[in-house]
Amino acid sequence: MTAPSTTVPSLDVHGLAYAYPDGHQALFGVDLTVGRGERVALLGPNGAGKTTLVLHLNGILTGGAGGVTVAGLPVGKKHLAEIRRKVGIVFQDPDDQLFMPTVREDVAFGPAAAGLRGAELDAVVRRALERVGMEEYADRPPHHLSFGQRRRVAVATVLVMEPEILVLDEPSSNLDPASRRELADILRALDVTVLMVTHDLPYALELCPRAVILSEGVIAADGRTGEILADEELMARHRLELPFGFVPGSVV
């Protein structure tokens, strides 16, 4: 008989409920566990509570019922600095994350703020840029890069902190087909837990073996991505639509 795994999950959300100050209830008791190294797509219509859930992962939002733990650490004031290092969020618009004169300085900002200096800082910056294929652009101003290149640098600014979880908000939005494929290749090669918030259902299928539908503040489905996308009644009920002509079962 195989012994049960004792590995602490990257993410454990239990009974999470949250209402905004205006009284709008966004989450109604969400339970979600994501194991180390999993890639999970978080799907759902606009207004489903996806952003509210993500903002609980690094303590931007707190005070609701239930709780969140990241790598065994409860999200709260006591561990907030460590939690924010462990949960790396890549925003939909890379310009929200890139503000330094050069790519190298943008990627170095986080570890430098954490106290890294000299050769050690140079090494972690170089490694992060290599992981996203942008090492040759280290001395370029970010605003001289293409949108796809800026998104890859934004990913590097998070990877350089060696996060437990990489949270991606609509990673394929506004990318041309080649940039979309390049980013997919990068994400597949990462040895990190990924939670991908997306409306791009083919991208979810390509990158995430598991998908979760969040709808009206609750988890409405959790399973293999291909099986969820192939369930027409489930998809219609939660206002999710595949691109015209796309057949989930045709993708290996």
Contact 208, 225 (CB under 8 A): yes
pLDDT per position as a tens digit, 161-170: 999 999 999 9
Contact 160, 125 (CB under 8 A): yes
Positive/negative CA dihedral, 246, 247, 250, 252 = positive
DSSP 52-76: HHHHHHTTSS--SEEEEEETTEEPS
What is the rounded CA–CA span in Å between residue 87 and residue 195?
10
What is the rounded CA–CA span in Å between residue 163 and residue 91?
15
DSSP SS3 for 41: strand
pLDDT, mean of residues 115-136:
94
What is the rounded CA–CA span in Å between residue 224 and residue 248?
11
User: Class of the 11-241 domain?
Assistant: alpha beta
Does 103 score more than 60 pLDDT? yes
In terms of Cα–Cα distance, which of 46, 5, 11 is closest to 31? 11
Domain ranges of the chain: 11-241
Q: Return the pLDDT at 252.
A: 57
pLDDT per position as a tens digit, 76-99: 888 888 898 899 999 999 998 999
What tokens appear for 188 in the block?
A: 């597949």
Confidence of residue 4 (pLDDT cuts 50, 70, 90): very low
